[in-house]
Amino acid sequence: MPAPDIVYVTDITYLKVGRKWHYLTVFIDLFSRLVVGWDLSESLERHSSIRALNKAIMRRRPGSGLMIHSDRGVQYASSDFRAALQKHGFIQSMSRKGNYWDNAVAESFFHTIKTQMIHHCKFQNVAEAEQAIFNYIEVYYNRRRKHSTNGYKSPAQYESEWWDNRKAA
């Protein structure tokens, strides 16, 4: 991607909180791999995806024309999710049927968070899980974790340098 806020990818994964499964939805900017919105929910219903999208919108204020890429999950095919995209003038893109490689960036993020954090934690309650996820995403992943696609810079550093270079031009 040539700039931020052109394409976001989104997906959902599961994690155990107490004795119940919970679901983590993320939105990732393809430009820098920055996680721009996320939500943890007890349910796989569409509401968590819409909350995570709204968090991304509040954080970034993307313009119309932003492409949102997802798998073919019922959350993303729901009329409520589609209405939220339409309200903001966003374009929906979905993976080809049965082809999880189409959403490889989100899948890679989930692999990373699970191997580096989730599989090493036993969350007793939702507040504990949300705090750990916040610390991982907002403190570590977005600000410190280096990505080869970013020239071994963190997503935040990569974007900051892009904005600095744009101002200088």
The token pair at 9 is 């990818």
Can you tell me the mean pLDDT for 3-15?
96
Please tell me the predicted confidence (pLDDT) of residue 100: 55
Identify the band that residue 168 occupies on the pLDDT scale cut at 50, 70 and 90. confident
CB 40 within 8 A of CB 129: yes
Identify the band that residue 47 occupies on the pLDDT scale cut at 50, 70 and 90. very high
- Look at the block and give the residue holding tokens 């909180």: 17
Which residues are CB-neighbours of 158 under 8 A, at least 6 positions away?
A: 32, 33, 147, 150, 151
What's the rounded Cα separation, in Å, for the pair 110 and 116?
Answer: 10
* Backbone φ and ψ of 10, nearest 5°: -140, 150
* Backbone φ and ψ of 13, nearest 5°: -135, 170
Burial of 67 (0-12, 13-18, 19+ CB in 10 A): middle
pLDDT at 161 over 80: yes
Among candidates 35, 30, 46, which has minimal Cα distance to 78? 46
Identify the band that residue 63 occupies on the pLDDT scale cut at 50, 70 and 90. very high
pLDDT at 164 over 70: yes
Show the domains of the chain with their CATH numbers. 7-168 (3.30.420.10)
The token pair at 166 is 């744009």
Report residue 98 CA to chain centroid gap: 21
Please tell me the predicted confidence (pLDDT) of residue 87: 97
What's the rounded Cα separation, in Å, for the pair 79 and 54?
Answer: 16
Over residues 118-148, the pLDDT tens digits come to 999 999 999 999 999 999 999 999 999 999 9
pTM of the model: 0.94
